């Protein structure tokens, strides 16, 4: 009986950490989308979700960044335990953890108001501040790490014979990286913003599914 209790504790903690990975993305997307659809002047085809951290209600998106980042870091710890031993056991959790940290960095350094948002902001790209520059920098590092994590996990899945999962991971990593590159170079074009939304939804869905599958294996 004592031995059973000793083994149940780390498994329960592992599943709790992986549960953070399951819910982090859906919670983030739900909160961000609710704001995008209700805040005055926000246009999904023109404004990245990062702009939501500006204005009187900007604290909502700031909190969304921080809480999601903490949940993602917790998920990374769960991934470390769940993937050990095996390919990707070291680097996948590190890369996901850096992405989580970048979310917190995005909260600390909000994006610059631009393109008419928040309401009353002049049209156009607006002034570039140190905060806005650091926001792009930490975001770029985080997105690159998360896309790489998709490829690392894909390599493990392929070795384990899970070709469908490996394909999903590779497609997600490519879409996520491409969507960030598009918005970084697109100059506010509608297609780049909508592609970026698709990339964000795709990568959070991926993390949820990977975390859920590993949690079931731990059970």
What are the tens digits of pLDDT across the range 112-170? Answer: 998 899 988 888 887 899 999 999 999 999 999 999 999 999 999 999 999 999 999 99
Q: Please indicate whether residue 186 or residue 109 has the higher confidence score (pLDDT).
A: 109
pTM: 0.91
Sole residue written with tokens 């983030």: 28
Helix, strand, coil share of the chain (percent; to 5): 75, 0, 20
Angle at 194 (CA atoms; ends 174, 163), nearest 5 degrees: 30
What SS3 class is residue 31?
Answer: helix
Please list, in sequence order, all residues whose beta carbon lies within 8 angstroms of the beta carbon of residue 195, skipping any fewer than 6 positions away: 178, 179, 182, 183
Q: What is the pLDDT of residue 10?
A: 55
Whether residue 176 contacts residue 146, with contact meaning beta carbons closer than 8 Å, is answered with yes
Q: How far apart are CA 177 and CA 180, in angstroms?
A: 5
Q: What is the pLDDT of residue 3?
A: 44
Q: What is the pLDDT of residue 11?
A: 62
What SS3 class is residue 44?
Answer: coil
Q: How far apart are CA 117 and CA 44, in angstroms?
A: 11
Q: Chain-wide mean pLDDT for the chain?
A: 91
Q: What is the mean pLDDT of residues 6-34?
A: 86
Q: Where are the domains of the chain?
A: 15-218
pLDDT band of residue 1 (cuts 50, 70, 90) is: very low
What SS3 class is residue 73?
Answer: helix
Please list, in sequence order, all residues whose beta carbon lies within 8 angstroms of the beta carbon of residue 74, skipping any fewer than 6 positions away: 17, 20, 21
Range of lowest pLDDT (7-16, 77-86, 87-96, 128-137):
7-16
């Amino acid at each position: 009986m004592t031995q059973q209790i000793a083994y149940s504790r780390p498994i329960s903690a592992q599943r709790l950490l992986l549960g953070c990975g399951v819910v982090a993305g859906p919670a983030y997307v739900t909160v961000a989308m609710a704001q995008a659809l209700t805040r005055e002047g926000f246009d999904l085809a023109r404004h990245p979700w990062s702009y939501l951290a500006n204005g009187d209600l900007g604290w909502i998106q700031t909190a969304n960044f921080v809480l999601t980042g903490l949940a993602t870091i917790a998920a990374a710890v769960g991934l470390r335990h769940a993937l050990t031993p095996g390919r990707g056991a070291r680097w996948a959790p590190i890369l996901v953890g850096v992405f989580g940290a970048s979310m917190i960095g995005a909260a600390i350094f909000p994006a610059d108001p631009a393109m008419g948002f928040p309401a009353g902001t002049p049209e156009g790209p607006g002034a570039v501040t140190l905060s806005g520059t650091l926001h792009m920098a930490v975001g770029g590092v985080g997105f690159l790490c998360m896309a790489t994590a998709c490829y690392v996990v894909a390599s493990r899945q392929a070795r384990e014979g899970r070709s469908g999962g490996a394909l999903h991971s590779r497609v997600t990593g490519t879409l996520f990286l491409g969507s960030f590159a598009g918005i970084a170079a697109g100059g506010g074009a509608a297609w780049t913003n909508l592609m970026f939304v698709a990339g964000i939804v795709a990568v959070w869905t991926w993390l949820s599914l990977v975390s859920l599958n590993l949690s079931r294996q731990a059970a």
